[in-house]
Chains A and B, each alone.
Chain A
Amino acid sequence: MYAVDSPASPARAQQTPPAPPAHRTRRRRNRSDNRVPWLLTLPTLLILVALLAYPLYRMVVLSFQNMRLRELITGLTPPWVGFDQYTKALGDGVFWGVVARTAAFTVVSVTISVLAGLSIALLMRRVHSKVRIFMMVAMMFVWALPQLVAAQAFRWLTDSDFGVVNYVLTKLGLDYANHSWFVNPWQGWAVITTLVVWAGIPFLAISLSAGLTQVPKELIEAATVDGASSWQALRNITLPILKPLLTIVTTLSVIWNFGLFTQNWALRDGHPEPVYQTLSTFSYTQAFGQSRYSYGSAIAVITVLLMFGVMVFYIRQMFKIGEVD
Chain B
Amino acid sequence: MARHDEGVVTVGRSRIGTFFANTTGIVFGLLMLFPVYWVLNTAFKPTNEVQSFTPTFLPENPTLDNFKSALGEELFLPAMVNGLIITAMAVAAALVVGFLAALAIARFAFYGRKAIILVVLAVQLVPFLALLIPLFLMMQRAQLTNSLIGVALVYLVLLLPYTVWTLRGFISGIPRELDEAAMIDGCSRPQVFWRIILPLTGPGLVATSIYGFIQAWNEFIIINTLNSPQKQNLMAWLLYNQTERGTAWGPLMAGAIITSIPVVVFFLLIQRNIATGLTAGAVKG
Binding site for B on A (CB under 8 A): 1, 3-4, 7-8, 10-12, 14-17, 20-21, 33-34, 36-38, 40-41, 43-45, 47-48, 51-52, 54-56, 58-59, 62, 67, 72, 75, 120, 123-124, 126-128, 131-132, 134-135, 137-150, 152-157, 159, 161-162, 164, 167, 177, 198, 201-203, 206-207, 210-211, 214, 217, 221, 224-225, 229-230, 244-245, 247-249, 252, 255, 259, 261-262, 265-266, 269-270, 280, 283-284, 287-288, 293, 296-297, 300-301, 303-304, 307, 311, 314-315, 318, 321-324
**Which B residues, 13 to 38, have Cβ-Cβ distances below 8 Å to chain A?**
13, 17-18, 21-22, 24-26, 28-30, 32-33, 35-36, 38
In the complex the two chains form, is B282's CB within 8 Å of A51's CB?
A: no
B interface, by DSSP: helix, strand, loop or mixed?
helix
Complex A-B: 17 CB contacts under 8 Å: A4-B181, A33-B110, A34-B111, A38-B110, A47-B160, A48-B119, A51-B153, A54-B138, A55-B138, A56-B131, A59-B130, A123-B25, A138-B28, A148-B220, A150-B35, A262-B221, A324-B121
Instruction: For B100, list chain A residues within 8 Å (CB).
Output: 40-41, 43-44
List of 8 A-B pairs having minimum Cβ-Cβ separation, nearest first: A323-B281, A144-B267, A58-B134, A300-B130, A37-B104, A37-B108, A44-B101, A40-B104
Instruction: For B135, list chain A residues within 8 Å (CB).
Output: 51, 55
Q: State the CA gap A252–B177 with chains docked (Å).
A: 36
Q: State the CA gap A300–B126 with chains docked (Å).
A: 11
In the complex the two chains form, is B195's CB within 8 Å of A59's CB?
A: no
Q: Which listed segment binds A: B60-68, B71-79, B242-250? A: B242-250
Please tell me which one of the listed residues B22, B108, B256 contacts residue A33 in the complex, with CB atoms under 8 A apart: B108
- Shortest distance in angstroms between A214's beta carbon and chain B's nearest beta carbon? 7
Instruction: For A307, list chain B residues within 8 Å (CB).
Output: 125, 127
A311-B125 CB under 8 A given contacts A11-B182, A44-B160: yes
In the complex the two chains form, is B117's CB within 8 Å of A324's CB?
A: yes
B49-91 interface bits toward A, Cβ cutoff 8 Å, 1 = contact, 0 = none: 0111111000000000000000000000000000000000000
